Structure 1
């Protein structure tokens, strides 16, 4: 597939062409961008610009299961302990405050199983650690709120899953919930090859859990991830690329990630894209960026064309 070029790429290509024209009598051309064989073809759609001006550092994204056509997000460091619910057009529907929990550096949000059968739970990753200062990290768990009115709401029942890494302090921004097992999977960020860890289900609230280390993947700067609702496909992104792994029947998430080289998916690079989420139908995925350089946060949808 021929990749559409970003504005930056177009400007760069134009400058290069001008340079070669002035210095090589119009005989040289700017180097062509190499073709990439993507895991599957997608059609990109701009769904909507987020209307809520208080969402300025969207660092996580997940498609709601209890509220069809709606999405959850949250800000990065520096905000209060709150999550936002919005629709595909970007309209803000409600803000939910998590009972004054710390919000030092929230980096991702996932949706999955929990203690009660048949109930959807949100998991918010308080695990950013740019300077490797904190031993204990936190994942806040709450039952997914069912939207019934616009405005602000308070969530009193939030549980704190505390954990440490077995190999030192780590900075991580990607949290994934396995819909098949209930396990939580964390991918680190800073290493040249990012590391994967598991918090096995059920998750104790009485002790600090030691995360299980499984290995390294050939991805750097992981900043968001998600597992499809049926558990068979895995997405992970960094600032420049989106990576994809299929997951075979009876494979663990670690086996899927470590047994194969990740495939790439087309990605229109965002100002600071840190959030990705599967469409619950499996027919595509969404991305969302922090606001940078006066560029507003936009929800993008990548519809897969092989379905």
Structure 2
């Protein structure tokens, strides 16, 4: 009887201690990354954002950091540029991030976050440009819609735009030497007026890019490490060491949700790939909706076309 009481007491104590205990994050070493390809286009000099196409086989989109025309480079798994999209209705101040999602009507939307504070802060707010992926790749102009987002507490520098793949809800993460802050945009955006951002959480890390997965995980990268939260407002469950990069600022999830890609500034630099553990893999919702999604083959980025049964849902848009 006494032994049973002791065991029972120890079990109760363990349960009490465990109620407030958080499991230590698991770590993925930098050696797990492999080179997917190297940018072959010398015009890609400051890759600050990445997004894997939901329409084109093995293609990733990237944008240069800097003022002037907003140009998006569509790059194949061999590192060669397949096409350049210019947004004639947008003028870049400091583009820093990319993301995307497929809408219920099948349109594959790509978002470009003009969020940076270089050369000066932006009291009038930051800009997000949205365009539909064109059905054919090449050098072309594509119409876009611009949304202005305004912080509740004055201007900030930022390099991270998060797009929820399930809802297209946008979030912005600011950047400073002391860390950053996560802000939420309205679920429904207006192109005709400023859209107020709402503060969500303080983050103790310097963040240069990030993304949300279909499972709700938030993945944010810095210059030497990546952190994975189980959800917005949740806890860090994984840390990922990053290969040495001069100024790494881009991260994207592959189109099948099974791997990460990272880029850095400087021309002719490698893009690295990390195959995710099963717990972190997250197929986007349009994959389950019988959308043809283009996945990256292992060992350097050979494109593998996954032809899913059913009707084609993603509607390829022709350039205007």
TM-score range, shorter chain: 0.7 to 0.9
Q: 1:42–1:120: structure 2 CA closer, same or farther, 3 Å change rule?
A: farther
Aligned mates of 2:68, 2:237 — CA distance in 1: 34
Of 47, 59, 62, which aligns to 1:70?
A: 59
Which digits, 9 at most, give the CA deviation of each residue in 1:220-272, with x for residues without a partner? 2x1111122x24322111111111122xxxxxxxxx23231363112112111
Q: How many residues align?
A: 254
Q: Is contact 2:98–2:110 with CA below 8 Å preserved after alignment?
A: yes
Of 117, 120, 124, which aligns to 2:112?
A: 124
Task: Report the CA distance between 1:78 and its aligned residue.
Answer: 3.4
Computed over aligned residues only, the root mean square deviation of the Cα atoms, in angstroms, reads 2.1
- 1:173 aligned partner: 159
Of 251, 263, 268, which aligns to 2:243?
A: 268
Task: Report the CA distance between 1:185 and its aligned residue.
Answer: 0.8
- 1:217 aligned partner: 203
Q: Is contact 2:71–2:85 with CA below 8 Å preserved after alignment?
A: yes
Q: Is contact 1:43–1:305 with CA below 8 Å preserved after alignment?
A: no
Alignment of 1:144-293 (within 5 A): 144-146=133-135, 148-150=136-138, 152-155=139-142, 157-190=143-176, 192-220=178-206, 222-228=207-213, 230-246=214-230, 256-261=231-236, 263-291=238-266
Task: Report the CA distance between 1:120 and its aligned residue.
Answer: 1.3
Q: Is contact 1:179–1:231 with CA below 8 Å preserved after alignment?
A: no
Which digits, 9 at most, give the CA deviation of each residue in 1:165-199, with x for residues without a partner? 00111111000100122210110001513100111
Aligned mates of 1:153, 1:121 — CA distance in 2: 17
- Structure 2 counterpart SS, 1:80: strand
Q: Is contact 2:217–2:232 with CA below 8 Å preserved after alignment?
A: no
Aligned mates of 1:108, 1:128 — CA distance in 2: 9
Task: Report the CA distance between 1:283 and its aligned residue.
Answer: 1.7
Compare relative contact order (CA 8 Å, sep 6+) and give the higher one, 1 or 2. 2
- 2:305 aligned partner: none
Which digits, 9 at most, give the CA deviation of each residue in 1:262-299, with x for residues without a partner? 631121121111000012222210001111xxx73211
- Structure 1 counterpart SS, 2:27: coil
Aligned mates of 2:259, 2:30 — CA distance in 1: 10
For normalisation by structure 2, the TM-score amounts to 0.74
1:303 aligns with 2:278: no
Task: Report the CA distance between 1:42 and its aligned residue.
Answer: 7.6
- Structure 1 counterpart SS, 2:83: strand
Task: Report the CA distance between 1:101 and its aligned residue.
Answer: 1.7
Gaps of 5+ in 1: 1-35, 247-255
- 1:90 aligned partner: 79
Q: 1:41–1:257: structure 2 CA closer, same or farther, 3 Å change rule?
A: farther
Q: 1:231–1:135: structure 2 CA closer, same or farther, 3 Å change rule?
A: farther
Task: Report the CA distance between 1:40 and its aligned residue.
Answer: 8.8
Gaps of 5+ in 2: 1-24, 280-320
- Structure 1 counterpart SS, 2:210: strand
